[in-house]
Structure 1
Amino acid sequence: MRFAYYQRLSPAEQRIYRQSDAVTEVPLRTPATLRPRVEGVREALLQEDRAALQAATQSLARALTERLEVAGVEVEVLETRPSNDEGELHGLYTWAPGQRPRIQVWMRTAKRGRVVAFRTYLRTFLHELCHHLDFLWLELGASFHTEGFFQRESSLFGQLVPPSAGVERSEAADTGKWSTSTRRGRR
Structure 2
Amino acid sequence: MKPSRWGLLTLLRMRSDASSTLESEARIPVERATQALADHLTRHFGVRTVRVRVLERRPSSRYGELHGLYEVENARSQPVVTLWMRTVQRRQVVAFKTFLRTLLHELVHHLDYEWLKLEDSLHTEGFYKRESSLLHQLLDPAADSASASQD
- TM-score (ref. length: structure 1): 0.71
Q: Which runs of 4+ in 1 moved over 6 A?
A: none
Deviation for aligned residue 1:96: 1.3
Deviations 1:100-137 (A, max 9, x none): 10100000001110000110000000000000000001
Question: Which of 32, 56, 73 is the aligned partner of 2:8?
Answer: 32
Q: Distance in 1 between matches of 2:82 and 2:64?
A: 17
Which of 59, 69, 73 is matched with 1:96 structurally? 73
Q: Classify 1:146/1:117 alpha carbon distance in 2 versus 1 (closer, same or farther; 3 Å).
A: same
Q: Which has the higher helix share?
A: 2
- Asked if 1:75 corresponds to 2:52, the answer is yes
Residue 116 of structure 2 is aligned to residue 138 of structure 1:
yes
**DSSP 3-state at the match of 1:120:** helix
Shift of 1:162: 1.7
- In 1, the alpha carbon distance for the partners of 2:21 and 2:102 equals 16
- Answer yes or no: is the 8 Å Cα contact 1:105–1:125 preserved in 2: yes
Structure 2 residue ranges without an equivalent (≥5): 142-151
> Structure 1 unaligned runs (5+)?
1-25, 164-187
C-alpha displacement of 1:54 = 0.2
8 A Cα contact 2:6 2:44, kept in partner: no
Percent of pairs with identical residues: 49
Query: For 1:27 and 1:145, how far apart are their aligned partners in 2?
Result: 24
Q: Distance in 1 between matches of 2:91 and 2:7?
A: 32
> Deviation at 1:31?
5.7
Query: For residues 32-181 of structure 1, what are the structure 2 equivalents within 5 Å?
Result: 32-33=8-9, 34-97=11-74, 98-162=76-140
Decide whether the 8 Å contact of 1:32 with 1:159 is kept in 2.
no
Give the deviation of 1:35 after TM superposition: 1.6
Note the aligned Cα RMSD (angstroms): 1.4
1:52 deviates by 0.4
Structure exhibiting the larger radius of gyration computed from Cα positions: 1
Q: Using the alignment, how far apart are the partners of 2:109 and 2:50 within structure 1?
A: 11
1:31·1:159 contact (CA, 8 Å) conserved in 2? no
